Amino acid sequence: MKLVCALAAAVVLHAADVPKIRYSKTFPGSIPAYVTIWVDSNGSGEFNASPGAEQPPISFRLEPSETEAIFSLAAKLDKFSRPLESGLKVAFTGTKMFRYENGATNHEVKFNYSTDPDAQLLQDWFERLAETSLHAINLERTAKFDRLGLDKALLQLQISVDRRRLAGAQQLLPILDRIAKTNSTFNRVRERAAAIADLIRAGGTKFE
């Protein structure tokens, strides 16, 4: 029993030592008004669009190239140890936050708008992660409560696919596979779900 506890403690300690990047955006009046995402250097991540317990967080897994791109940008931004706010008089588009965590090393920066191209690229990565997770939530909800709306939900996803707006797209595969195999849905719905799933597996949705 002591050995099991010691191993469990070691696993928790190791997980705590894994570098992690957090992103959040608070923008009252927008949909969603609140978003928070974290990813770690192992490629694990979590999305949450609810500050309370209304919607449980969604876990996802990044591909190695996606993880490398995100952490490389964070390194270029000195792991958020310097200001990113432009100071320009621009419209308010929400309070964004980047946070780097690695053991005792913690740096956090908040901004409305940044002219730093690396900050803009990193923000876009997290915006695409949010967009992908919101598609996953929408597909799960529609498949459960409104199967007649699946065609529209998949068309909305197809638009994101065509615009290369997906990141962490592997999280979509379970729900797409279920839709493709559900005989009670329309043929075009099953075919569209299967086609998008095949594209994700082939790497055809990756951002370039």
Domain ranges of the chain: 18-201
Task: Output 2 or 37, whichever has higher pLDDT.
Answer: 37
Task: Output 75 or 16, whichever has higher pLDDT.
Answer: 75
pLDDT tens digits for 82-139? 999 999 999 999 999 999 999 999 999 999 999 999 999 999 999 999 999 999 999 9
d(CA 49, CA 55): 7
Q: What is the DSSP letter of 183?
A: T
Residue 26, number of CB atoms within 10 A of its CB: 16
d(CA 24, CA 98): 7
Helices (H), 36-116: 64-76
Residue 53 above 70 pLDDT?
no
Task: Output 123 or 15, whichever has higher pLDDT.
Answer: 123
Q: What percent of the chain has pLDDT over 70?
A: 90
